[in-house]
Chain A
Amino acid sequence: MPENRKSISAVSQVRKSGKIRIRPTRYGWIFLVVVFSMLAGSINYNNNLGFLFTFLLASMGFVSLIHSFRNFSDLRIESVQTWPVFEGQTAMFQIHLGKISASHIGIRFRLAGSETAEADLNPKGRNRRTLSIPAYKRGVIKPSVLVVDSTYPFGIVRFSAEYDVSSVCFVYPKPVPVHQLTPQDLIQAHAKEEKLYAEPDDFKGLKSYQQGDPIQHIFWKAYSRGQGLMIKEFSASETPSLLFSWYKIKEDTTEKKLSLMCAMILKAHGLNLKYGLKLPGRIIEPGMNERHKHKCLEALALF
C-alpha cells in the first residue's frame, strides 16, 4: 500500500488526444453479416416478413448507435492522480471524472499496462475510478495513454477515446527490512567522519507543537493535563545530519545498494534525523521532511 494517501501524490491534467473512434466489435461484424444474409434471403424469396424482420434488426442496430453515442459523449476526464510505491507493490492511478448530467453505463477505463475497469457512472455519485499497474521494477511508471471505451448497449459497436496522461508514478527501490538496520549502519554510511548526534538527555525546554515537529518528542503529560500539545526541545544545537554516500555502501550490485540506501533513508526519517544523499553525479543536501524524503527516494528510483 502506498504509505499514506495524504502524502505526496502526483496529479496531472489529462488532455484528449484525437476524437472519439467508432468501430464495430467482432460481434458487430457478425451482426452485419447476419443482417445482410437475411436481406439476401428475403430478396431472393421475395418474402415480406423476412424484409420486415431484417429491417427491424437493422433499425435497432442503427438506433443503438445513437444510444451508444449519447452514453459515451459528455464524459470528461479531468485528472489522473497517482502515489509513489515501492518495488513489488501496485501502483494506483485514480482517475477523476468531470461532472456528468446523466448516467453512463458500461464505461471501461484502461491505462497502458493496467487492467480494464468497467464502471457504471451515476451523476450523483463520486466519480473517481482507480486502476492499478503492478510495479515490478524500480523506476517510473508512465502510462502515457488512458483509453476510455464502451460498447453499450448491444456490444456490437465500440466507442473509444484516448487521453494523454502525463502522470508519473515513481517506483522506489525495495527497501531492505528496516528493522534490521541499526543506527550504526546509518553512521557507517555517512560520508564524513565526525561525531553525529548528541545524547538524548540534553533537554532544553518545551515549546508548543507545530505541524511538522517530530511526534516522538511530544510531551504527553502536558497534554493530559489539558495544556495542549507541547514538544520537548533538546539542546543539541542541530539535529545530526547524515549524508548517505553511495561509495560507502558495502553491497555488490547496484540494486542492493539502492535497496539499502532506501532502507536507510526510511530509518533516518523515522528517527527524525536529517539526511542527504550522495550519489555518483548528484548530491542532495540533508533535509528532513516528507518532501525531502520523497525527493531522495525519487533520486534513487531514477538512478
Chain B
Amino acid sequence: MLRSAGIVLKNQEKREHTPAVVLIMATAAMPLFFRLPIWIALWCLLLWGYTALAHYKHWPWPNRVVRTGLTVTGCVLALHFLERSFVGGRTFLGLLCIMAGLKPLENACHRDRMMTLLLVYFTFISSLFVIENLLITLYMFFAVFITTAGLIHFNHSRMPAAHGLRLSAIILAQAIPFMIILFVFFPRSEGTFFSASRSGQGSTGFSDSLAPGSVSTLVKSNSIAFRAEFKGDIPAAENLYWRGLVLWDFDGRTWRKGRHYLNTLYRFSGRNRVDYDIFLEPHRKRYLLAIGLEQALAIPETGNPQSRALAAHWRAQFDSEESIIKQAIAYFQANPFQYTLNPPLLSSNPVDAFLFETRKGYCEHYASAFAFLMRAAGIPARIVVGYLGGERNPYGNYLIVRQYQAHAWTEVFVAAKGWVRVDPTSAVAPERVSTGVAESLIADELPQFLQRGKFAGLRLYWEKTKYFWDSINLRWNAWFMEFSRYEQLGLRMRLGRIARSHLNQIVFAGAALIAVAASLVLFRSRRGRAILRQDPVVAGYYLLCKKMERAGVKREAFQGPRDFVFRKVKRFKPAKARPGD
C-alpha cells in the first residue's frame, strides 16, 4: 500500500523542535549579553542548557507552576539589580533577557513556537538599539536567516531541516533589494512621536557643575567620549581644546551653569578655521562639543579673603588686564604647585586653602582658583569644561577623545580681543597640554589603562588592531548610521530628481518595488523549488513506466499499476532483446 497523505491534527499538542527554539532564541538574545551584567547571561545560559538537556536526556520538564515561579523570580531580580528608569533603560533589556531565557520552556504546541519566534524578532531589534556597529549589522542578517529558517521549519516539519535553511536564504536574498529601496526612500522625519529618554548606553561624561574632584574622577574612565574626523590636517596638541559646557555661577566652591547658558549649536568663528565632523557617543546631556567662542563677573560677597586681597593687590598694581593675567600665571609658576589627582581636602575657604596652603590639585582646582582671582580683580572670567587632547588613529584622519582627557580651563574677557582662553594648568603642568594625561601625572596615580605594563610589543599589536577596527566603525557610522533626512534629500538631489514632493518619491519607490516584484514572479525557476523525497517504490514504478514507454508500451492515464502490469507489461514481448533493458 503506497503511502497516503499524512493526516495531521490542527494545532497539534506536541512538544517538538526544542533544540531549534533554544538555538534561535540564543542567537537573537546574545548581543544583549554584552550590554548587561553577567548574571543575566548566566541566567539565560543555565535555562537554555537545562531546556536542551531536558530534551535530549528526557529530564523532567518544568510545569506551569515552576515556570511561573521562575518568571516572578527573574523579574524581581531584574528590577532589583538594574537601574530604575524603565523605558529604554537597562531594566527593560534585562527583563527582555529574562524572558528570553524562559520562553523556550513554553513549547507545548505550534502556537507557542510561533509566538516565541515573533518575540525573537522583537528581542533582536532591542539589541540593535544599543549596539551600533558594522559587526552587528552583519550579525543581523545571520540572525534573521536562522530565525526565518526556523519559522519555515516549524510550519512544515515534514520537510527536512535543510529545506528551511535553503528557502530562508533564498527569501533573504530576494528581500534585500526591497530592503535597500525602502531604506533609501522611506521618508524620514526630524521629530519624534513621543519624547522618551534616550536609551544611550554611554557613560555620563560631565555633570552640569564643576567642584573640586569633578574632573579627576573622570580620569578613571577609558571609554570614548567622541571622535572627531578632520578633513585637513589635525591641529597641534596645544590647540585641541574641546569646549563642552560653560559655567558662570560660583558659590565659593562649585561652578554652575546658571541662567545664561544657551542650548544651541554654535557656529565657531575663530581666527584659524578648522573643518571637522564630530561623532558623538551617546550621553544624556543636551550639549554638543565644539571648538569655539562665546560671552560675566559675579563672585560671592564673602569667603576666600586672602585670594580677594591678592587680586585687589594686582588690580592696584597693574593697569592692563593682560598684565594681571600674566601676573596670575606667574604666581602659579613661581610657587610650588603640584598637579595631582589626589589632593588634600579643602576647608571652608577652598580657594584660599588651595592657593596658599595645599597647592596641590587637578585642573579643576587651578581653573576654579584662577577664575576666582580674575573675577576678584575685576576681569570677567568663566569656566569651560570639556576635553583636552586626543588620540590620533593611524588608520583614519581622526582623533579619539576619551573620558580621561576631560579638562577644565578658563576664559577671560579682554576688551580688545573678547573672550580669550587661559589655561592655568599649562603653567603648572605643561606636559598635560603638549602631550597628555599620562605624561603629566606621577606613574602611581595613573589608572590601569594608562600605565605601561609588560608585554609592550603585544600591547602595541593589540592597540593597532583596535585602531583599525575603530576606523572601520567610524566609516560605517559616517556612511550608514548617519543617513538621515538630510542625507536622504542629498541623495535624491544627487540622483538628479527634483523629488521634493512626496508624490514623486512615492511613485518612484512604488515603481521600483513593482519592478522587483514582477521580476520575482516572472522568474520561474523550476530547479529552485524544493525537491521532495519520493517514495522509492513510487520512483521505481515510474521508472518502469518510462522504460515501457520507450519500448513502445504506453500506460494509459486510467490504468493503475496492477492493471498496467498485468495487462500490458506481462504480455509484452520484446521485439529485440536489447542489452541493458
Contacts and interface: CB of A to CB of B under 8 A. Distances in A.
B136 A49 contact: yes
B483 A153 contact: no
Nearest to B481: A48
A122 B533 CA distance: 9
Given A47-B129, A126-B2, A154-B151, A106 B144 contact: no
Contacts of B188: 43, 46
Contacts of A154: 148, 151-152, 155
A38 interface: yes
Contacts of B178: 55, 58-59, 62-63
Contact of A41 (B129, B520, B521): B129
Contacts of B136: 49
A66 B175 contact: no
Nearest to A102: B529
Interface string B4-27: 111111100000000000000000
Interface in B505-548: 517, 520-521, 524, 526, 529-532, 534-535, 538-539, 542
| Consensus secondary structure, chain A interface | helix
Given A27-B118, A52-B137, A118 B5 contact: yes
B125 interface: yes
Contacts, number: 171
Contact of B5 (A37, A44, A117, A155): A117
A50 B128 contact: yes
B296 interface: no
Nearest to A71: B529
A31 B140 contact: no
A49 B172 contact: no
Contacts of A52: 137, 140, 179, 183
- Interface range, B side: 35 or more
A199 to B, nearest CB: 40
A51 B186 contact: yes
A130 interface: yes
B110 to A, nearest CB: 8
B122 interface: yes
A30 B183 contact: no
B435 interface: no
Given A27-B114, A34-B118, A152-B155, A103 B532 contact: yes
A129 interface: yes
A153 B171 contact: yes
A227 interface: no
A103 B156 CA distance: 14
B121 A34 contact: yes
Given A63-B171, A64-B171, A130-B5, A56 B155 contact: no
Given A34-B118, A103-B532, A122-B532, A48 B538 contact: no
Contact of B167 (A40, A48, A109, A153): A153
B129 A45 contact: yes
Interface residues of A, number: 56
B182 interface: yes
Nearest to A127: B5
Nearest to A106: B156
A53 B530 contact: no
B179 A116 contact: no
Interface stretch (B194-202, B232-240, B344-352): B194-202
B35 to A, nearest CB: 14
Contact of B118 (A30, A46, A106, A152): A30
B196 A122 contact: no
B179 A155 contact: no
Contacts of B535: 125
B189 interface: yes
Contacts of B189: 43
B530 A56 contact: no
Q: Which of B5, B177, B186 has the most CB of A within 10 A?
A: B5
A215 to B, nearest CB: 20
B295 interface: no
A69 to B, nearest CB: 8
A130 B114 contact: no
A60 interface: yes
A163 to B, nearest CB: 17
B520 A63 contact: yes
A53 B123 CA distance: 12
Interface string A94-110: 00000001110110010
B526 A67 contact: no
B534 A122 contact: yes
Contact of A48 (B194, B480, B534): B480
A120 interface: yes
Given A117-B7, A119-B6, A41 B125 contact: yes
Interface in B146-197: 148, 151-152, 154-156, 158-159, 167, 171-172, 174-179, 182-183, 186, 188-189, 192-194, 196
B404 interface: no
Among A37, A60, A122, residue most surrounded by chain B Cβ atoms (within 10 Å) = A60
B175 A53 contact: no
Nearest to B6: A118
B122 A49 contact: no
B530 A103 contact: yes
B26 to A, nearest CB: 18
Contacts of A130: 4-5
A60 B199 contact: no
B87 to A, nearest CB: 11
B465 interface: no
Residue of B156, B521, B524, B534 contacting most chain A CB atoms (<10 Å)? B156
Complex A-B, nearest 8 residue pairs according to Cβ-Cβ distance, in ascending order: A59-B178, A59-B175, A155-B155, A55-B182, A49-B128, A60-B175, A129-B5, A55-B179
Given A41-B129, A55-B183, A63-B171, 18 more contacts: A30-B115, A34-B118, A47-B132, A50-B129, A52-B137, A58-B182, A59-B177, A60-B148, A62-B178, A67-B171, A103-B532, A105-B156, A105-B159, A106-B156, A115-B9, A117-B6, A124-B534, A126-B538
26 contacts: A30-B115, A31-B118, A34-B118, A43-B192, A43-B193, A44-B196, A46-B188, A46-B484, A48-B480, A49-B132, A52-B137, A53-B144, A56-B140, A56-B179, A59-B178, A59-B179, A60-B148, A70-B521, A102-B526, A118-B8, A119-B5, A124-B534, A125-B538, A129-B4, A152-B156, A154-B155
Interface of B: 2, 4-10, 114-115, 118, 121-122, 124-125, 128-129, 132, 136-137, 140-141, 144, 148, 151-152, 154-156, 158-159, 167, 171-172, 174-179, 182-183, 186, 188-189, 192-194, 196, 198-199, 480-484, 517, 520-521, 524, 526, 529-532, 534-535, 538-539, 542
Interface of A: 27, 30-31, 34, 37-38, 40-41, 43-60, 62-64, 66-67, 69-70, 101-103, 105-106, 109, 115-120, 122, 124-126, 129-130, 151-155
